[in-house]
A and B are shown apart, each in its own frame.
Chain A
Amino acid sequence: QSVLTQPPSVSGAPGQRVTISCTGSSSNIGAGFHVHWYQHLPGTAPKLLIYSNTNRPSGVPDRFSASKSGPSASLAITGLQAEDEADYYCQSFDSSLSGYVFGTGTKVTVL
Chain B
Amino acid sequence: DVQLVESGGGLIQPGGSLRLSCAASGFTITSHYMSWVRLAPGKGLEWVSVMHSAGKTLYADSVRGRFTISRDISENILYLQMNSLRVEDTALYYCVREGFGSSWSKYFDTWGQGTQVTVSS
Contact = CB atoms under 8 A, between A and B. Distances in A.
Interface of A: 2, 32-34, 36, 38, 40, 44-48, 51-52, 57, 89, 91-93, 97-105
Contacts of A101: 47
B27 interface: no
A38 to B, nearest CB: 7
Interface stretch (B15-23, B65-73, B99-107): B99-107
Give the bracket for the number of chain B residues in contact with chain A.
Answer: 20 to 34
B1 interface: no
B44 A102 contact: yes
Contacts of B47: 99-102
A103 B44 CA distance: 8
Given A46-B111, A99-B60, A102-B45, A51 B101 contact: yes
B103 to A, nearest CB: 9
Nearest to B46: A102
A30 B113 CA distance: 32
Given A2-B44, A48-B109, A100 B99 contact: no
A45 B108 contact: no
B107 A89 contact: no
Contacts of B109: 48, 51, 57
Give 8 nearest A-B pairs by CB, closest first: A36-B107, A100-B47, A105-B44, A45-B111, A34-B105, A102-B45, A51-B107, A52-B105
Contacts of B99: 48, 51
A44 B113 CA distance: 7
Contacts of B105: 33-34, 36, 51-52
